[in-house]
Amino acid sequence: MAISARRRRTGLAAWGFALPFTILFAVFMLVPVASSLYMAFTDMHGADLRTPWAVNFVGFDNFAAALADPKFQQAAGNTLYFVGVAMPLTLGVALLLAVLLNSGLVWFRSVFRVGFYAPVVTSIVAVAVVWRFLLQPDFGLVNSALGLVGIDGPRWLTDEVWAMPSLIMMATWRNVGYSMVILLAGLQGIPRDLYEASAIDGAGAVRQFRSITVPLLRPTLLFCAVITGIGYLQFFEEPFVMTQGGPLGATNSVAYEVFNQFGFGNYGLSAAMSYVLFVAIVILSYLQFRLLRTEK
């Protein structure tokens, strides 16, 4: 009896300590998540804001409607295209830059590090203005440079074929610095004597990179891949500020479509769409963990 009473008291005390966190967590995390899930299974619209409980449950209708919607399908295709190209590109360029910064250039390392990281902390609005100038078809820097070597550059942001590559370029430029800094830290954590030992064994630079750098960098690469993948699946800012999803829906993304549908007051449908996106993020992250996990 005595023991159980004391246990109960300790339990209560523990709860007392945990209460502030639990309440904050419940109010700011659990309730919003639960209500968005609730929304996804109801026919809630903008006009139901005052009476959120007076709506009908519609089961998986919203999910079926989202998946059958040609605009959502196009947005999903665009998002996959974006992630499929931009993610490997970002990680590849980040790794290349990190290796270069790690091997030489000791003097200018911090200059370069700041240079490549600056786009990450710059406001997207400012970035958009500059990129619109760069990509301007008639006098933009990109097409002027292409013109010097005799190439007639496309109308980047208003061409159905080139709009997405333009945004991929811009997103890579914006995000490469983040992964680069993390990878650089990872590289500096690899013991130098491993390279020395392998050099004595006759390994060249390429062999060292394949057999030492990449395996030891795996956890760091995994981290970068997951973070970049999650960010890129939620691709929104670039089309929002640069193309409004056009031309002809070529740069519309799932997150943008969710944003639009929320704006139209289709709360149920857009909540369902965001859960489809959520599932896609879970699947992608799972695949990355499978692919890049450290072998035991």
Q: What is the smallest separation between the CB atom of 264 and another protein, expressed in angstroms?
A: 4
Q: Of 47-55, 167-175, 193-201, 206-214, which segment contacts another protein by CB under 8 A?
A: 47-55
Question: 20, 18, 17, 49: which is closest to 35 by C-alpha?
Answer: 49
**Interactions with another protein, residue window 205-264 (CB under 8 A):** 244, 246-249, 260, 263-264
Q: Smaller CB distance to another protein: residue 10 or 103? A: 10
Site string for another protein, 259-288 (x = CB under 8 A): -x--xxxx----------------------
Site string for another protein, 65-104 (x = CB under 8 A): ----------------------------------------
Residue type, 193: D
Q: Smaller CB distance to another protein: residue 187 or 269? A: 269
Question: 107, 109, 85: which is closest to 97 by C-alpha?
Answer: 109
- List the one residue from 54, 68, 161, 200 that touches another protein (CB under 8 A): 54
50 lines the binding site for another protein (CB under 8 A): yes
Torsion angle of C-alpha atoms 156, 162, 164, 166, degrees rounded to 10: -40
132 lines the binding site for another protein (CB under 8 A): yes
Q: What is the smallest separation between the CB atom of 34 and another protein, expressed in angstroms?
A: 6
Calpha distance 266→133 (Å, rounded): 36
Q: Which residues are CB-contacts of 174 (< 8 A; sequence separation ≥ 6)?
A: 119, 120, 122, 124, 127
Calpha distance 276→75 (Å, rounded): 12
Q: What is the smallest separation between the CB atom of 12 and another protein, expressed in angstroms?
A: 10
Q: Smaller CB distance to another protein: residue 205 or 248? A: 248
- List the one residue from 13, 24, 28, 30 that touches another protein (CB under 8 A): 30
Interface size with another protein, residues (CB under 8 A): 37
- List the one residue from 15, 28, 60, 286 that touches another protein (CB under 8 A): 15
32 lines the binding site for another protein (CB under 8 A): no
Binding residues vs another protein (CB under 8 A): 7, 10-11, 14-15, 18, 22, 26, 30-31, 34-35, 38, 42, 45-47, 49-50, 53-57, 132, 155, 158, 244, 246-249, 260, 263-266
